[in-house]
Structure 1
């Protein structure tokens, strides 16, 4: 079995973990629901819930990872009491990472493909209807879908093949630094467009009438849901990075830094999208369609639009690929921990496995477009539903119970690990909150997700 690597630097750990947490949901979902639920008023709720919900669960994942020195598939084995069955969840966590990549690699492929399309000027002379038709034609082409999915997979595993320090850490740090710089450049361009002020007002001015319109309960739940799902907690995707760090820093401060970066990206996405849409009279509430069918028209209308459009899709590709690299590192660590394989063997086997597993999603928009599950949707929708509506919330619940229950690892062990090192400490006084109240909130989010999915139309 290979010697286990550790991160070379603290900044590498934070950037890699942030790369895992920061994904495409930050970019297209956050601005959409922020606008829908009252702008700055919603953002305030979102930030509060990030701290109340996201921070404790992230600290729990990091603590389990660091104390065990293992990936999610073996970490519970190392820490649980004899006769305990918590280790069984490790296999569900592993499944969650594979399932996430089964559809995320296709979406990452869309971003890469649009970067090339934009750089080639394909959108430059097209009408809005023709721009929208490009995305439809792309989805309908099975060859194009599979090729770009393979490019995303190959890029991710090529980075992981180089190891933790020379591959994952180094590349993630470059990608995340570039992503943050690109966002600032794009945001400055967006807020200086003629007519951008209306978009900024929509985004930043609290509109409590919109909150009343939707109902305060629905707004609060939407803020809870976004804060919870944005960090990809519950499938051990972050626990692995805890296993690669030393004991120099307490974990609450590290989690706060990662959540801060995640929030910065989400907020900056709003500064790019809202002013751009308002400057060109475009509805910003379209979800994924906004990115592929609408924003190319916005860039067409800007001076040097081809350059700004290409930069935007480079930024989107970075957001996607940083997540792919982080989750691939998890998948590789599973095989190393379970089978004692070398990194090279784990990369090669998983490259083949992830490729095969990702094909149904890539073909789910064309050849297998007829495959539908009532109430859920096509292949991508089903895979996303299993991960987002089930494994993330229920997995977070497992981590919380494991870290606080005497039948699991236990609160004393958890708090000792979390607070080892210098920096921000996790408050031991909130034991009742993270043992009882937070698990109940997570269960509530899971249950309401089902109700909204199947019973509210």
Structure 2
């Protein structure tokens, strides 16, 4: 079967950026920035994005582009006759399934809230408690959560069944274009609000007193952690798109562009959230409460709030769904490569697997809300902990070792693939950084995650 290819470079960049741009970095990044001293954290984050995130991203791309295969077969193709690196390919697939078993539920929340705002369910007269009640009511209803989760899963695999160019690339161009336009419009609206300067100051101006209070070391570690996780590397969700890309451009160039798009969206999300919150005298909180309780409270008190709330949750829907279809493609391609299955059949089977696998997360907020799997964590938090704290960092370490060690693929072959094409190239002396510094940084992220 002839390997599919992207129809254009912009298609590859938007699909890859869509995979990286997810719910977590859109709502987590702004709060983490404010929590860690504002602008200084942003600068440190950008440094670590360059020296940690971009190199590992090139490695996933290199494995995919050199092999023209999905995760398991990619390692098989490059590892040599007696290699065992392909075992990690199976771990990657498990990680993708586990990620989608809770991510699809949260993506459903975004779609649900978009419909709620568009339908006028959030009204200017609503109190803070009533707004919180909408969120709690949604979580308490297994039927409501299940329906939205199913819509996300079925829609995602339907898009994948239409092919790379006809389905994923075509939709991503429309969706990511709309996302980038929406985020600029929303940010401009927030900045123009009365009193927004306090939010901008909180977000972007370096607060050295806060940095001293937190500790510079902790700020650096948090910046490193955010830079690593924002690109979703380690479980081959990016590797599959390397297998579809051309050799016209170097991988460092492509990784830099994807990272820039991801960072632009994350920073712009902060420009939406903080000015809006501070202009209405509302202190932003972390996690789901920021998106589903604090911001709706801002929108209902804002002139034209129904429209702005609808646009914001449309943006969040696009951000989450772009990640969903990207990871779904890894699963579809895995069945196609390993079982020689058609794209449509692979999409149907994977749709059933993910639908069933996502049910525990849906029920974890109601029927199983007293179920604790890891420590005091519920279903979603436990699944997220396994993926974020274990599979992503350890998976990235495996990709790094495979691309740099002589009993893996080897640094020379990786570098040749990486530097093929036009654009930024990695020099040979980078091998010392890749061999001795980068593994330490990834292990540090892993240790912080599990602790």
Deviates more, 1:430-439 or 1:326-335: 430-439
Tell me which residue corresponds to 1:413. Answer: 413
CA distance, structure 1, for counterparts of residue 76 and residue 224 of structure 2: 31
CA distance, structure 2, for counterparts of residue 91 and residue 286 of structure 1: 34
Q: 1:64 and 1:374, CA in 2 relative to 1: closer, same or farther beyond 3 A?
A: closer
Contact 1:376 1:385 in 2 (8 A): no
Q: 1:109 and 1:44, CA in 2 relative to 1: closer, same or farther beyond 3 A?
A: same
Instruction: For 1:344-363, list aligned pairs within 5 A.
Output: 344-363=344-363
CA distance, structure 1, for counterparts of residue 384 and residue 163 of structure 2: 29
Tell me which residue corresponds to 1:24. Answer: 23
Tell me which residue corresponds to 1:299. Answer: 299
Contact 2:285 2:294 in 1 (8 A): no
Tell me which residue corresponds to 2:156. Answer: 156
Give 4+ residue runs of structure 1 displaced > 2 Å after superposition. 373-376
Tell me which residue corresponds to 1:116. Answer: 115
Is 1:269 the counterpart of 2:259 in the alignment?
no
CA-atom RMSD in angstroms: 0.9
Q: 1:105 and 1:412, CA in 2 relative to 1: closer, same or farther beyond 3 A?
A: same
Tell me which residue corresponds to 1:343. Answer: 343
Contact 1:39 1:202 in 2 (8 A): yes
Tell me which residue corresponds to 1:255. Answer: 255
Query: Shift of the alpha carbon at 1:81?
Result: 2.2
Contact 1:101 1:354 in 2 (8 A): yes
Tell me which residue corresponds to 2:403. Answer: 403
CA distance, structure 2, for counterparts of residue 430 and residue 376 of structure 1: 43
Query: Shift of the alpha carbon at 1:376?
Result: 4.9
Tell me which residue corresponds to 1:393. Answer: 393
Tell me which residue corresponds to 1:45. Answer: 44
Instruction: For 1:211-290, list aligned pairs within 5 A.
Output: 211-290=211-290
CA distance, structure 2, for counterparts of residue 135 and residue 299 of structure 1: 15
Structure 2 unaligned runs (5+)?
A: none
Contact 1:37 1:210 in 2 (8 A): yes
CA distance, structure 2, for counterparts of residue 244 and residue 411 of structure 1: 22
Deviations 1:173-225 (A, max 9, x none): 11111100000000000000000011111111111111110111111110000
CA distance, structure 2, for counterparts of residue 372 and residue 191 of structure 1: 42
Q: 1:166 and 1:278, CA in 2 relative to 1: closer, same or farther beyond 3 A?
A: same
Is 1:6 the counterpart of 2:2 in the alignment?
no
Query: Shift of the alpha carbon at 1:27?
Result: 1.4
Contact 1:335 1:341 in 2 (8 A): yes
Q: 1:389 and 1:376, CA in 2 relative to 1: closer, same or farther beyond 3 A?
A: farther
CA distance, structure 1, for counterparts of residue 256 and residue 19 of structure 2: 15
Contact 1:32 1:284 in 2 (8 A): yes
Tell me which residue corresponds to 1:455. Answer: none
Is 1:200 the counterpart of 2:200 in the alignment?
yes
Is 1:384 the counterpart of 2:384 in the alignment?
yes
Aligned residue for 1:174, secondary structure, equals helix
Contact 1:179 1:315 in 2 (8 A): yes
Tell me which residue corresponds to 2:98. Answer: 99
Query: Shift of the alpha carbon at 1:286?
Result: 2.6
Query: Shift of the alpha carbon at 1:448?
Result: 2.1
Instruction: For 1:305-344, list aligned pairs within 5 A.
Output: 305-344=305-344
Aligned residue for 1:428, secondary structure, equals coil
Deviations 1:258-309 (A, max 9, x none): 0000000000001000100000111113321111011111111111110000
Aligned residue for 2:429, secondary structure, equals helix
Instruction: For 1:59-74, list aligned pairs within 5 A.
Output: 59-74=58-73
Aligned residue for 2:74, secondary structure, equals helix
Deviations 1:15-34 (A, max 9, x none): 00000000011211001110
Contact 1:35 1:285 in 2 (8 A): no
Query: Shift of the alpha carbon at 1:393?
Result: 0.1
Aligned residue for 2:375, secondary structure, equals coil
Aligned residue for 1:282, secondary structure, equals coil
CA distance, structure 1, for counterparts of residue 341 and residue 170 of structure 2: 23
**TM-score normalised according to structure 1 size:** 0.97
Contact 1:26 1:269 in 2 (8 A): no
Query: Shift of the alpha carbon at 1:158?
Result: 1.4
Query: Shift of the alpha carbon at 1:430?
Result: 1.2
Is 1:435 the counterpart of 2:435 in the alignment?
yes
CA distance, structure 1, for counterparts of residue 7 and residue 154 of structure 2: 24
Aligned residue for 1:55, secondary structure, equals helix
CA distance, structure 2, for counterparts of residue 117 and residue 232 of structure 1: 30
Structure 1 unaligned runs (5+)?
A: 452-457
Contact 2:72 2:89 in 1 (8 A): yes
Contact 1:36 1:285 in 2 (8 A): no
**TM-score normalised according to structure 2 size:** 0.99
Deviates more, 1:309-318 or 1:441-450: 441-450
Deviations 1:136-172 (A, max 9, x none): 0100101001000001111111111110001001101
